[in-house]
Amino acid sequence: MFPTMVAGEGDPNRRPGTAGADQGAPGELRAAYWLAVVAAVLMLVTGMVLLSVGFPEGAAEEARAAFMRNMRVAAFGNIALAIGLAVSAPLVSARVRGARAWASVCIAGAIFLNVAAFFMRVTSWASFAVVIVLTLSLFFMFRPAVNAYHDRLGPWRS
């Protein structure tokens, strides 16, 4: 009657139909993939825009070197992490061993980078759109239905 840490096939608190092996990939896995693709595109656009923007007008000249260095780190970091996420996201649905771990590392690095760049005033509020999309992608990537999908299809491909 009450949810427990141990759930079986006859658990009345689970949705019916989640235990069948004939089902395709769960919707959460597709949502995680498309959110990761959207985040990678946003990160690439953010990185390219940061590389094309120069030092802000009216800012103190003493801060030019530090600002430009921080902006380049944010730009190249976003581009590199977007490429890593774009490579690892399709591998998650293909059930390649370690793909969720690599995608999680890329997502964690991108979240840290975008939040740090925002608080250092290198990027604008667009960084939070990237953070929100990445967080949702990570959330859907580790849902119970996705875990069950990976578990019930046998050994992982390597």
| pLDDT tens string 24-39 | 788 899 999 999 999 9
More confident site: 145 or 130: 130
- For residue 157, the model assigns a pLDDT of 60
Average pLDDT over residues 76-99: 91
| DSSP helix/strand/coil, 87 | helix
Output the pTM of the full model: 0.79
CA 158 – CA 146 distance, rounded (Å): 18
